[in-house]
Structure 1
Amino acid sequence: MAGWNGEDDVNNIPDRLWWTLVADRASDGKNTPFWYRRACMYCLKKTNPNGDLNTSKLIANRSLPETVIEYLKRIQAIVWSRKFLVSQSLDKKPEWLFGLGSRYIKEADLVCILFGCSVPVILRKHREDTGASYFEFIGECYIHGRMDGEALACMDEVSIIDGTVEFNIR
């Protein structure tokens, strides 16, 4: 989903994978340290043949560098009870987006940027017996390349107005 598999060279790890694993933030909420990429590459060499990585087992290994342990703890905090997701953007140039969301997400849920929210959110559409529709808030998410205003930064005013939708959220 992220554009990398265990057979690929770890030196070619896509930014969207290692940034998503830490939600593009350090444990103190500041910008991602430059060495997180190297720590991720180190950890990917430790995956089993199925591509799984036992972060708890690695953290318990006191011979690991402290930076790798810090990175693994950050990954645990971010991915716990979350699922990876892909979503197609509705931009003029559609692209596949990659991220992390609630473990309760389902196919056909919507990734939305709500004015006033600091992060993208997942909404699920429901229909009432009357035919009216409403949306359920499923949770926040991390979408690589669409955080910190990146989603709106590449749009002009007309595109923002055309892409604005009102949601009845319950």
Structure 2
Amino acid sequence: MSLQRPTPKPTGLGTRLIRVASMPARAWYSHGALVWVRNDRDEFLLVRERRRERGKWGLPGGFLNPMEDPAVGAARELREETKVSCDPADLEHVMEYRQPWARHYEHVFSLTAQGDGASRTRSFEISGQGWFAADDLPALTAAANEVLVRLQDRGLL
């Protein structure tokens, strides 16, 4: 038996029309990971968004790569956005939930850092970062706000 590797993707107008027509019926969701980083002064590490919700502050995190373990993705995003490196096993899984406004599942992890634990970084996505006390938070992204509300409802804040 002769098989093609990798399996070729089906092509043709009919295949594309069927794929597009079936999209609303499929349960298609993206997945992301956010990291709630706290220090020994009970402050939160937040990053300032450059693109999505420009100027608002959010938790470090982002979309998971296809088939990526959520803890691995959370550690990768944390490192990319804040230069804080950690072993995925050091991240504590806090919760996961479906964002009420999108077809997106968020996996939330917690990490405790010593001191300020992060170096100042800027990137295509992030214009800055800082540590904030719970009673002195800046304008938050929708995702960060949703996570903090859920943490508060669970008595974790």
- TM superposition score category, shorter chain reference: under 0.3
Normalising by the residue count of structure 2, what TM-score does the alignment of the two structures yield? Answer: 0.24
Between 1 and 2, higher relative CO (CA 8 Å, sep ≥ 6) is seen in 2
Normalising by the residue count of structure 1, what TM-score does the alignment of the two structures yield? Answer: 0.23
